Chains A and B, each alone.
Chain A
Amino acid sequence: MIEEPGTIQNNENAACGSAGSGVDRRSFLKATGAGLAATGLAGCLGDDDGGGLTLGAVYIFSGFASLYGDEAERGYELAVEEINEDGGIDGEDVEVIARDTEGDADTAIRQMTSLIEEEGVDGLFGLDSSGVAQAMAPQVAEQQVPLMVTHAATPFLTSPEGEHDNSVGNEWVFRNCNSLSIDMYGAAQVAAELDAEEWATIGPDYAFGYETWDYFQAYLEGLGADVEFTDEQYPGLETSDYTPYISAIIDAEPDGVITPLWGADLTTFLGQADEAGWFDAIEYTLFSVGMGTDLPADGSPLPEGQHASTRYDPFVPETEENETFRETYYEEYDTLPTYNAEGAYRALYLYREAVEEAGSTDHDEVREAFTGMEHSGPVGEYHFDEETNQAVVPAIWGTVSQDEEWESNVLDPVEVYDVDADELDELLADSELPSGV
């Protein structure tokens, strides 16, 4: 599906009808309004000679997780606007061509190939699903195009190929947000502090669900916590009725449950869990993707008092950079930025820095500039690990609270768990799991 334009460029793509099974109403109206006049054949021919920087954004824009694509779009559009108003990159505009992965690996690879071969993009960013990201990683290495992952969390994406059977990390794949591994380190720290002895999980029936539980257990064991692991439930993606799984967990009577359910699946689960009396029966529920998308907005079904994590918090760190981003974003969209918005926003600035440092949009030179790069963004100061290309950023966990000033759910109190690769490796020493950092 042809999706949101960062600039007019998308319309050329729409005119070609190069890859699409459908166009949603919003995309159509926006693309039409954005610049019918610019529709031409250049995009069809893969014209890449307009100067500046052309990036391909690959997110989920349809289906149960489309809200992630929407959030990312807000983030990168804001960055495009800011960068171009600020003179662009070496005086040339940056533009984004967005494509819908539909959360499907085959579709994502098809879109990626189209972006590279037909649109001639200088680099890629995005990806929401861990499964899709794992399928894409070897492909970008083959195509030799840099990819900045801003959301997909599997540690195997940045665990160098050969480190583990599932590892697909390579020199072309970078990740600017924290991973499932770092997030579960934070979750284990939270769990170890709670008076909960028995833990269970309910997660989606694919790698992300299983990996979350594996890493959660491994880190808790690494921390020496005296806990037991009881029930685990793995409903399929887009399950419409979670009641049997909810009932199974409640029957197992754990003290705490960690859930990496995400997107609309999380919303569906929350409504049915509430109806089944989940929050009376289970003392602690840790939502690892809980503050991920539209959930912080007013009317969020995420219950106050529960524990949730985020890969970026609009109030952490308390820096001028973060405050400026938060307020600019709020002014533009009337809502606080979520981590997917911030990740996509920051990807554009990372590319600007890499291109300016390399003095070129050459794929290889941009990749080299990313390697070990130190950067500062709303999320704070961090660097990319030279071996894994994973950004070394902290885990953030907190308690869901309603904030009157921002009319939104926020994490308050919120805890930042700084961690380095060595510490993670040490905690995972007894497991076969790579830290991915």
Chain B
Amino acid sequence: MEPSTTLAFVGLADVVIGLSLGSRLFLIAVGLSLIFGVLGVLNFAHGAFYMIGAYVALTVTNQLIDNFWIAVVAGALAVGLIGVLIEVGTIRPLYERAEGELDQLIVTFGFVLVIHEAVRFVWGSQPYSMDAPASLAFSVSIAGSTFSAYRLFVIGAAFVVMAGLWLFVTKTYFGSLVRGTSSDREMASMLGVDVPRLYTAVFFLGSFLAGLGGALSAPLQSTSPALGDQVIIDAFIIVVIGGLGSMFGAFVGAMLVGLMQAIGPQFIAAGHIAIPFVAMVIVLLLRPEGLFGGIGE
């Protein structure tokens, strides 16, 4: 790969890598933000959901059906269904509790531990890898730099998901119900909205997106039981920077964190991992609601 010169110290390759990291993080962060924005649930298990998406996808391609696209859909759907089971079975009974938020946090953290051990039991501790689909197994040359087509595809997928979610939330009837319910749950309920069902649907959607993120990321990284812990921290940083509950904030936050992760090593050999944390602290100090704070956007 030839170094390029789009910026003084940062090459085009670094920007593309940053966007691809950001795209994967967006898919997990937006689901986390959506669930919090509508349900008020801070889902600690969201990183574990992402990890399951990756494991299911690579199991489908490596052991069941050698079809990448089916594997991605299977990964996303499996996680969506797991999310529904968890929401209906364990989180729904806690909505009305006085200390419900704390209880939800403890329950979802419990699921992190359960899922982690379950993954170790089913797949073991060894990392796995998965091939990109044959149709995208080629390289693209842009301005002297070479990129894998799959990496560019994932960036495109994040933009498509962002646009789709925006249209879904702002232009559809279901979207208006979601926005209305997130603003005033009691009013929505009095107006005849089936709030429990809506909550479950939103939890499904958020979980589905985490699974989709994990499945799409599987060919770009190794999948091991450590994966969930790695991404959930990034996802929390992103939603704090972007603003809890803001989809657009999640998008911008994810891309910023992705770029920080890609460009950080160029400047600081050790300790660059702290850069996104520093950014989060600065945002919290200057703009506690996040860059695009606004519940139910």
Using a CB–CB cutoff of 8 Å, the interface residues on chain A facing chain B are: 22, 24-25, 62-64, 66-67, 205, 210, 231-234, 236, 238, 240-241, 243-245, 247-248, 250-251, 253, 264, 267-268, 271, 275-277, 280-281
Contact = CB atoms under 8 A, between A and B. Distances in A.
Given A234-B270, A240-B221, A244-B262, 19 more contacts: A24-B124, A64-B127, A66-B126, A67-B126, A231-B269, A233-B269, A238-B127, A238-B226, A240-B127, A240-B222, A243-B20, A243-B21, A244-B14, A244-B17, A244-B263, A247-B14, A247-B265, A250-B1, A264-B224
B221 A241 contact: yes
Contacts of A205: 270, 273
Of B127, B146, B262, most buried by chain A (CB within 10 Å of CB) is: B127
A251 B127 contact: no
A251 B269 contact: no
Contacts of B222: 240, 264, 267-268
A379 B39 CA distance: 63
B202 interface: no
B143 to A, nearest CB: 15
Contacts of A247: 1, 11, 13-14, 17, 262, 265
A24 B3 CA distance: 45
A240 B265 contact: no
Nearest to B13: A247
Of B20, B223, B262, B265, most buried by chain A (CB within 10 Å of CB) is: B265
Contacts of B18: 244
Given A250-B1, A250-B3, A22 B121 contact: yes
A240 B227 contact: yes
Contacts of A271: 129
Contacts of B120: 22, 62
A250 B3 CA distance: 7
A62 B230 CA distance: 18
Contacts of B31: none
Contacts of A250: 1, 3, 13
Nearest to A250: B1
19 contacts: A22-B120, A24-B124, A64-B125, A64-B126, A66-B126, A205-B273, A231-B269, A233-B269, A243-B262, A244-B21, A244-B265, A247-B11, A248-B14, A250-B1, A264-B126, A264-B224, A268-B127, A268-B129, A276-B1
Contacts of A24: 124
Interface string B225-264: 0110010000000000000000000000000000001111
B67 interface: no
Nearest to A23: B121
B269 A232 contact: yes
B189 interface: no
The 10 closest A-B pairs by CB, nearest first: A240-B221, A248-B265, A277-B1, A268-B222, A241-B221, A238-B226, A232-B269, A244-B262, A62-B125, A63-B125
A250 B17 CA distance: 13
A239 to B, nearest CB: 8
Contacts of A245: 265
Contacts of B265: 233, 244-245, 247-248
Given A22-B120, A62-B125, A241-B21, A275 B148 contact: yes
Nearest to B4: A251
A64 B125 CA distance: 7
Contacts of B273: 205, 236
Interface of B: 1, 3, 11, 13-14, 17-18, 20-21, 117, 120-121, 124-127, 129, 146, 148, 220-224, 226-227, 230, 261-266, 269-270, 273
A277 B13 CA distance: 12
A251 B124 CA distance: 36
B11 A251 contact: yes
Contacts of B269: 231-234
Contacts of A253: 3
A267 B13 CA distance: 23
A205 B224 CA distance: 18
A86 B117 CA distance: 42
Contacts of A277: 1, 146
Nearest to B230: A240
Nearest to B229: A238
A66 B126 CA distance: 7
B61 to A, nearest CB: 16
Nearest to A271: B129
A281 B222 CA distance: 23
Given A238-B224, A244-B262, A251 B121 contact: no
Nearest to B129: A271
A140 B226 CA distance: 30
Of A231, A241, A277, most buried by chain B (CB within 10 Å of CB) is: A241
B213 to A, nearest CB: 13
Nearest to B262: A244
A67 B124 CA distance: 12
Contacts of A22: 117, 120-121
Given A22-B120, A264-B127, A251 B3 contact: yes
Contact of B220 (A64, A234, A241, A281): A241
A240 B14 contact: no
B229 to A, nearest CB: 9
Contacts of B1: 247, 250, 276-277, 280-281
A101 to B, nearest CB: 13
B286 to A, nearest CB: 27
A64 B224 CA distance: 8
Nearest to B231: A240
A244 B226 contact: no
A175 to B, nearest CB: 27
Contacts of B127: 64, 238, 240, 264, 267-268
Given A64-B125, A234-B269, A251-B11, A240 B21 contact: no
Contacts of A251: 3, 11, 13-14, 266
A268 B222 CA distance: 6
Contacts of A67: 126
A232 B13 CA distance: 19
A407 to B, nearest CB: 23
Contacts of B124: 24-25, 62
